[in-house]
Structure 1
Amino acid sequence: MITGGSSGIGLSVAHDVARRGASVTLVARNVSRLEKAQQEVELTMSKLSMDGKVQFFSSDISGSVKNISEMVKNAEASLGPVYMLINCAGFARAQKFEDLSPDLMKQMLDINFTGPMVLTQEVVRGMKVQQEGGVVVFVSSQAGLLGLYGFSAYSASKAAIVRAAEALHMELKPHNISVTVCYPPDTDTPGFVEENQTKPIETKLISEAAGLFKPEEVAKKLVDDSLCGAWSSTVGLEGFMLTTLCAGMGPITDAASFMAQVFLSGLFRSVSAFYLWSFTRIVEREHKKRLENKKSE
């Protein structure tokens, strides 16, 4: 089951798991996009002669608990218990803190945090009862590992999902259900294009440092890592540095990541000082430009 499965990373994940032989449930709000996504994933399956099936449900994951519960029951009634839940649905609006409306802050929290939590509750209950094991994936963001200019509300909502996932990892481990958190960098998706429409120039310049990745890259790494039971998943050098540096008291799921955290954290902290200095320079430079423009006016 993939939320946000009609486009972007979610749709790329659907194609990836379909190529591996899975049946897929796509969840999103826009029916026409879901219909198109279903056709595309079914085409992927037919080209590879896979026997999996594709279904979709138009549902707002930030909506009522009753509707979410019914959606999960209907999905499982037709395709069986959910083995792998991938929470891709989410959105970002980058604005200066004083320009954020309370409604927008609540909307980001509802879609990026509360909605995935409620849906995961419903799915996990079934995983415990109907099968021995499962996989839960939360798509956070590299902005969930550090606060950036323009992302005060977004970073907070994506950081919240990480702390919740850590607790859930501990709770679900005895039930053979793994939890993975994915930290995508800027990814070339429709959501990213929409996000850029309100993004302050400071945020754009800071984000450019990590480059722009393809959704297929992020999706493949997400699926590979989660099927291996890895705690975190990311792509790119900056992603590796951030997840290593910010490991904290996070779960230890493999020796390689643990050793990297032990021996590279000090080095990466030194490197991070350069990044933070460059970010500060960007903010200060753009602030001075605005002051000079006001004076000239």
Structure 2
Amino acid sequence: MREEIARLFDLTGRTALVTGARSGLGQAMALALAAAGADISGLGSSPMPETRKLIEEAGRGFCEIQCDLALLDDADEVVCGAAHELGPVDILVNCAGIIRRAEIGQLAIETWDEVLDVNLRSLFLLSQAAARHMVAYQRPGRIINIASLLSFQGGIRVAAYTAAKHGVAGLTRAMANELAPAGITVNAIAPGYMATANTLALRDDPVRSREILGRIPIGRWGVPQDIATAILFLASPASSYVTGTVVTVDGGWLAR
């Protein structure tokens, strides 16, 4: 039985393309996938020597793809480049994202476009390219998107981010419907309030930080490692009958 359970979560021989793998949630998910046996292509806008070091120390292959997702035009080239280095891509994790805070009346259209381009447009283009790639290689695939609590709520001063994350949840379901016949599952993870660069302003604000912690039943900010079990489940053979879902990892925030 123990061996059978281990096989359900074994990613040996699989290759994962993880965006935003330089730090935070993306790095934690890349490391979790590597620990389960996957080789990792890390995509980011700047070098990620720490991620490379940690994954290679785990005995897995790593290649780095530098790309500004706000300017992504040829997603097929990105996916093919990852496959050239490590083999066909079996798992795509769309984690990269940015957040910009402004009142509705002061939100510049350039800021709106930047957030939507990184958080939603690039996610669609990479998912589209990865799906074509998986079908061409006749490999069952996993696409895992990073949604947010703001896929369900409105938030304050984050209209562009909220719109993008609502879009991520809807797109996850739409892709799941179309790609299931090809053996590709599409799911999302909605992290709660995590201690990452995106939440630094909130954590540094004593009033907002206290308000947020007061609503989280578990009573603490999440850490990137809290996402590890969710990503392993959705990337592994164990989740072959799970698609179109948004899994919340939020310390109980939405239950409150």
Same fold (TM over 0.5): yes
Indicate the RMSD between aligned Cα atoms, in angstroms. 2.2
- SS of match in other structure, 1:107: helix
1:214 match:
223
Deviations 1:185-243 (A, max 9, x none): 111122322x549x9888656533234101001233232244314422222453563xx
Amino acid at match of 1:26: G
Task: Indicate yes or no: 2:223 matched with 1:223.
Answer: no
CA distance in 2, matches of 1:150, 1:202: 16
Aligned length: 231
Question: How far apart are residue 146 of structure 1 and its match?
Answer: 0.8
Q: 2:132 aligns with which of 125, 131, 138?
A: 125
**RCO (CA 8 Å, sep 6+): is it higher in 1 or 2?**
2
Q: Which has the larger radius of gyration?
A: 1
1:21 match:
37
1:234 match:
248
| Higher helix proportion (structure 1 or 2) | 1
* Percentage of identical aligned residues: 23
Q: Cα distance 1:143–1:203, how it changes in 2: closer, same or farther (>3 A)?
A: farther
CA distance in 1, matches of 2:124, 2:61: 26
- 1:122-201 aligned within 5 A: 122-193=129-200, 195-196=201-202
Unaligned runs of 5+ residues in structure 2 are 1-16
- SS of match in other structure, 2:26: helix
CA distance in 1, matches of 2:129, 2:66: 17
Question: How far apart are residue 132 of structure 1 and its match?
Answer: 2.9
Task: Indicate yes or no: 2:43 matched with 1:35.
Answer: no
Question: How far apart are residue 85 of structure 1 and its match?
Answer: 0.2
CA distance in 2, matches of 1:203, 1:97: 19
Q: Cα distance 1:159–1:39, how it changes in 2: closer, same or farther (>3 A)?
A: same
Task: Indicate yes or no: 2:96 matched with 1:89.
Answer: yes
CA distance in 1, matches of 2:124, 2:234: 21
Q: Cα distance 1:113–1:200, how it changes in 2: closer, same or farther (>3 A)?
A: farther
CA distance in 2, matches of 1:11, 1:200: 26
Deviations 1:115-137 (A, max 9, x none): 11011111110101103310001
Deviations 1:45-84 (A, max 9, x none): 14xxxxx311111111232322x32222111112111100
- 1:102-113 aligned within 5 A: 102-113=109-120
Q: 2:61 aligns with which of 32, 44, 53?
A: 53
Is this contact kept in 1: 2:70–2:117, CA < 8 A?
A: yes
Is this contact kept in 2: 1:13–1:220, CA < 8 A?
A: no
Q: Cα distance 1:119–1:74, how it changes in 2: closer, same or farther (>3 A)?
A: same
- How high is the TM-score relative to the length of structure 1? 0.72
- 1:265-280 aligned within 5 A: none
CA distance in 2, matches of 1:202, 1:169: 40
Segment of structure 1 superposing worse, 86-95 or 222-231: 222-231
Question: How far apart are residue 91 of structure 1 and its match?
Answer: 1.4
Is this contact kept in 2: 1:8–1:191, CA < 8 A?
A: no
CA distance in 1, matches of 2:53, 2:181: 38
